[in-house]
Amino acid sequence: MIDTIIKDIPLTFNTALNLFSPDNIDKGTLAMLSQVEFTSDDKILDLGCGYGVVGITAAKIIGAENVVMSDVSEKAVAMARENALLNGVDDVKVVLSDGFRNLQEKDFSLILSNPPYHADFSIAKHFIEKGFNRLRVGGKMYMVTKRKEWYKNKLIAIFGGVQVSEVDGYFVFCSEKRSVSYAKKGK
C-alpha cells in the first residue's frame, strides 16, 4: 500500500507486483501531474491507467463523473476500481481496453498518458493518433516519457505543435488539438 499526497490531496493506493511501479508512485507520472491544471469543466481520460494514480487524482479534484480510466490489463483495471473505492471516487468509469479499442467516449478535454516507452513505438503511435480523434477542439494530450525526439516529432506531425517540459529527468509533452483534422504537412 502506498500513502501519498499529490496536488495537496492525501491518497492511498493498493498495488500488485505485476503492475507498473508497484512500490511507489512513478516519478514520470508525478512529473506529468505537476504540469497539468485541472478545471471543473474538464472531461479526462487516463489512458493506460495502471492502478489509477492519474485518474483518481483528477477525480478527487474535478469529480469522478468527469473521468474515464482505461488499461489493457485486467489486473490494473481491477486495482484501479479498488483504489477508486478506497479514495472515495468509486463513480469513476474504469474500462478494460487495449488503447481506444473498447472505449466509446470522446470529446475529452484532457488525455493523460504515461505510455510504455521502453517497448516499440506502436502503442504510443496508437495513443497519439487515436487520442487526437477523441479530444474536443481545444483539448490537450499530455504524455510523459524518458525519450524526447520520437514523441516530439510524432506529436508535431499529428497536432501541429507540442510543448516539452523537462521535469526530474522526464519529458512531459503537451499538444493541443486546434482543428478537427491532423496537422497539414509542410510544403
> Which whole number is the average pLDDT over 86-97?
97
Does 51 reside within a domain?
yes
Percentage, residues of the chain above pLDDT 90:
88
With beta carbons less than 8 A apart as the criterion, state whether 100 and 34 touch.
Answer: no
- Kindly report the CATH number assigned to the domain that includes residue 160: 3.40.50.150
Does 181 reside within a domain?
no
3-state SS assignment for residue 65: helix
DSSP alpha helix (H) spans, the chain: 27-35, 53-62, 74-86, 122-134, 149-159
| Res 176: pLDDT | 97
Does 187 reside within a domain?
no
What confidence tens digit (pLDDT) does each residue in 51-81 have?
A: 999 999 999 999 999 999 999 999 999 999 9
Tell the residue number behind the cell numbers 500513502, with chain if given.
Answer: 3
How distant is the alpha carbon of residue 179 from its chain centre? 21
Does 100 reside within a domain?
yes
What confidence tens digit (pLDDT) does each residue in 108-144 have?
A: 999 999 988 766 788 899 999 999 999 999 999 999 9
Does 186 reside within a domain?
no
Q: How many domains does the chain have?
A: 1
Does 170 reside within a domain?
yes
- Residue 72 identity: V
| Res 74: pLDDT | 96
Q: What is the dihedral of CA 76, 93, 65, 175, to 10 degrees?
A: 70
What confidence tens digit (pLDDT) does each residue in 147-161 have?
A: 999 999 999 999 999
Does 183 reside within a domain?
no
Q: Residue 187: pLDDT above 50?
A: no
| Res 185: pLDDT | 65
| Structural domain of 32 | 2-176
Does 184 reside within a domain?
no
Q: Residue 33: pLDDT above 60?
A: yes
> Which whole number is the average pLDDT over 18-25?
88
